[in-house]
Amino acid sequence: MPIKTCLFDMGNVLLHFSHDLMCQNAAAVSGAPEPQVRDLLLNSGLQWQLERGEISEREFHEGFQRQLGVTVNFDTLKHAVADIFQLNHSIVPLLAELKQAGLRLVLLSNTSVTHLEFIQEHFSVLNCFDALTTSYEAGVLKPESGIYEDALNKTDSEPQECFYTDDIEEYVIAARTFGIHAEVYSETTKTRTALQSLGVAIPS
């Protein structure tokens, strides 16, 4: 079957990001020690609750203040935890070529409303996508099956007509269980080659 839809992860595929920077930024604006901020956001899972859609941005803010014993402006904290992205410039021409070739583009990302809205405000890379599947809206995180099912419902294609790339191998393996052609993302030239090998008509 020819490839009709390409699914892309967002973090470290479309845009580079750093959880280290997120923790540093949040510590800087709140005055809380960075190790405690990291423990709260990543180890105890406050960030993952936001990405799963279990809590709102306001609840995230309240939990951050309460558990660290600090006071920080809502918008200041929101910007601090979101200002962690840089565009992967190499992916932009490929996205344009795929659209020109008539393929459908669908985002498949573990992300929060805070991060998605920041990216939409500061970057144009998502403008060419036909549909977005995000963990906070789907209520599940990769590699749980529900998020892949949500994305496939937005592809207008059979799984065998879909290609997916993600920088995390575990998430790629999960996609393959659905019959999706999936490859680990390391650099755009390799993604381009993988697509060409599947018969997608794009330049080398």
pLDDT in tens, 6-60: 999 999 999 999 999 999 999 999 999 999 999 999 999 999 999 999 999 999 9
66 and 109: one domain?
no
Asked, for residue 203, whether it belongs to a domain, the answer is: no
Average pLDDT over residues 85-103: 97
Of the three residues 82, 103, 123, the one that is the final residue of a domain is: 82
pLDDT digits over 58-92, tens only? 999 999 999 999 999 999 999 999 999 999 999 99
- pLDDT for residue 109: 98
182 and 139: one domain?
yes
CB 165 within 8 A of CB 5: no
Task: Write phi, then psi, for 77 (nearest 5 degrees).
Answer: -65, -40
CA distance 35 to 51: 21
Domain count, the chain: 2
pLDDT digits over 107-141, tens only? 999 999 999 999 999 999 999 999 999 999 999 99
| Range(s) of the domain holding residue 171 | 5-16+86-197
H helical segments located in 102-186: 113-122, 135-138, 145-153, 169-176
CB 7 within 8 A of CB 151: yes
Phi-psi region of 139 (alpha: psi -120 to 50; beta: other; left: phi over 0): left
CATH number, domain of 182, equals: 3.40.50.1000
11 and 108: one domain?
yes
155 and 135: one domain?
yes
As a whole-number percent, the residues of the chain with pLDDT over 90 amount to 99
For the beta carbon of residue 100, count every other beta carbon within 10 angstroms.
Answer: 10
Torsion of CA 177, 179, 183, 184, to 10 degrees: -20
Q: What's the CA angle centered on 192, arms 190 and 195, to 5 degrees?
A: 110
**123: nearest Cα among 164, 162, 95:** 95
- Helix (H/G/I), strand (E/B), else coil: 26: helix
User: Model's pTM, two decimal places?
Assistant: 0.96
Asked, for residue 118, whether it belongs to a domain, the answer is: yes
Average model confidence (pLDDT) across the chain? 97
- Residue 204 reports pLDDT greater than 90: no
- pLDDT for residue 3: 98
57 and 131: one domain?
no
